[in-house]
Structures are given as C-alpha cells and as structure tokens.
Amino acid sequence: MLLLGLTGSIATGKSTVSSLLSKPPFSLPIIDADLIARQVVEPGTAGYNAIVRYFSPSTPDLLLPDPAPNGKGRPLNRPALGRRVFGHGEQQEKDRKVLNGIVHPAVRKEMYKQMVWAYLRGHWAVVLDVPLLFESGWERYCGTILVVGVSDPRIQMRRLRDRDPHLTEEDARNRVVSQGDVREKAERCLRRGEGRGVVVWNDGDREVLKRDVERVMKEVRRRSPWWWSTLLWICPPVAGVVGLWSWWRMRRVQMAWEEEKRREKAKL
C-alpha cells in the first residue's frame, strides 16, 4: 500500500485536494491529521485535560461558555488558544512546544491505527493529510508526497482572510509563517526525485486544480499498478520489506536536506 503524503500550507488548497482524492475516480481513504488533532482534544480526553491544566491559568478565555454535546466539559476556544501559541515570541514558542507535546503523540497513535485498517481493507494507497508533514518527520514514511502550493504569497493571505474573516492581518500572517514557506516545501518535495515528490500549484480556480490533480494522480497510479498493490496486500512480509526499503531511502533524502540547511545557516 502506498503512503501518499499530502501537505502544503494554510489556505493553499490542500483541503480541496484532499476532498478530490476522497471521491471517485480516486476514492482513497484520507487520514486527516487536523481532524484527528481535534478529536484527541475533545472534552473528556486525556489531551483536553492536559491542555486545560497547562493553559487555563494564563488564558482566561481558553474554554467556550457552553458545555460540549457529550457533557464532559466546555470545548476549547481555539482562536484564543491559537493566539497563545502562534507567533515568534519566546513564550509563544515555549507554549507551542507544550501543545505539540500533548497533541502529536495522540495524533500519531490514531494515524497508525487508521493506516493499518486501510491496509487490511485492501486499498492501493492511503492519503496522509498532514500540514506539517516535513516538520514532523512524516516524510520518511511516505512513498510519494504531493505538495499543494501557491506561487504568490499574497494569494495565500487573501484566501486565508476571506476564509477566516475574524483573523486580523497579523494573526493571519502568524499562522502562515507558523506552517513554513510552501515554496520551500515544494523544493524539498521535488528533491525526493521523480515519482516520489510532486507539486501542484494552485494559483487558479477549482477546475484548473482538479485537472492538475487528475494529471499527477494518473502518474502516481502508473507507478503503483494494481498487480503491485495486490502483491503487497496478499504478502505482508513483502510489504514490510518494501516499506523498510522506502523508509531508508527517504530518510537519507531527509537527512541530506536537513544537513544542507544547517550548512546554509552556519554561513550566515
């Protein structure tokens, strides 16, 4: 089974591509890291309790006034929590690390469970929809990565503020910056080599995006034909060996990129 990593940045169209891949003619299972991240911090969960313990003393508006439908507490006020952790200050960085340390382990556990379930059901591929795919280290697990980007940062900012009108310009800029430069992600993706990294530039409308997705997925499917997917499904040992080989190759690419960036930073 192919692990198809899907990433980009906020307001670049990643969610639209995820929706396209979940429907015919692709009909792929989507493992949505953002959705899982919401589920693991719902009232009553261990993640929710940890967030409340750490952030409530310094964030008075952390919780919404009305209780959650499950009756296990008041839901998190996500805009208030976002203001707390997004930004470049020392305290924001510390709080963001704490939040990630609470949410990320729970998200990874649920993602692993869903990947195994997709394999057992015989899917030829599963989409890992992860905004911070490179930053979180998930890239080494993916046989192919698809980055959805925009070439003009102004388009990204405009789309974000149109989608979330409650955000100030500063809030919007902080959220864009927190997810990294999508153009750098595209470069990093293509560094993986032909067939292992593809980029879709979403500067136009939905129809243009749809055609581009169909084009790149045709090539992805060509490189992972039905007979190969079937072999990996009926012979788990072969799937394990292939998975380890792919992980090792992609880990080398990841380490080479990170070493290159360290050298560039050292020259400054």
Q: What digits encode the pLDDT tens for the residues 125-156? A: 999 999 889 988 899 999 999 999 998 888 88
pLDDT (tens digit per residue) in 5-15:
999 988 899 99
pLDDT (tens digit per residue) in 205-264:
899 999 999 999 999 999 999 999 999 999 999 999 999 999 999 999 999 999 998 998
Q: In angstroms, what CA-CA distances link 255 with 139, 152, 184, 265?
A: 11, 29, 16, 15
pLDDT (tens digit per residue) in 54-88:
998 888 888 888 887 777 888 888 888 888 887 77
d(CA 176, CA 153): 9
d(CA 94, CA 110): 25
Average pLDDT of the chain is 90
Bigger pLDDT: 40 vs 66: 40
DSSP alpha helix (H) spans, 167-235? 169-178, 182-190, 206-223, 226-234
Q: Which residue has the tokens 């190759």?
A: 249
Please state the rounded mean pLDDT for residues 104-109.
Answer: 90
pLDDT (tens digit per residue) in 180-215:
788 999 999 999 998 899 999 999 889 999 999 999
- For the chain, which residues make up each domain, given as ranges? 1-29+124-268, 40-120
Looking at the predicted structure, is the pLDDT value of residue 27 above 80? Answer: yes
Question: Could you tell me where the beta strands, DSSP code E, fall in the chain?
Answer: 2-7, 30-32, 125-129, 144-149, 197-201
Q: Of 125, 257, 141, which is closest to residue 188 (Cα–Cα)?
A: 257
Q: Which of 107-116, 162-171, 178-187 has the highest mean pLDDT?
A: 107-116
Please state the rounded mean pLDDT for residues 48-54.
Answer: 92
pTM (2 d.p.): 0.84
Q: What is the DSSP letter of 167?
A: S
Domain 1-29+124-268 has CATH 3.40.50.300: yes
Looking at the predicted structure, is the pLDDT value of residue 124 above 90? Answer: yes
Q: What is the pLDDT of residue 187?
A: 94
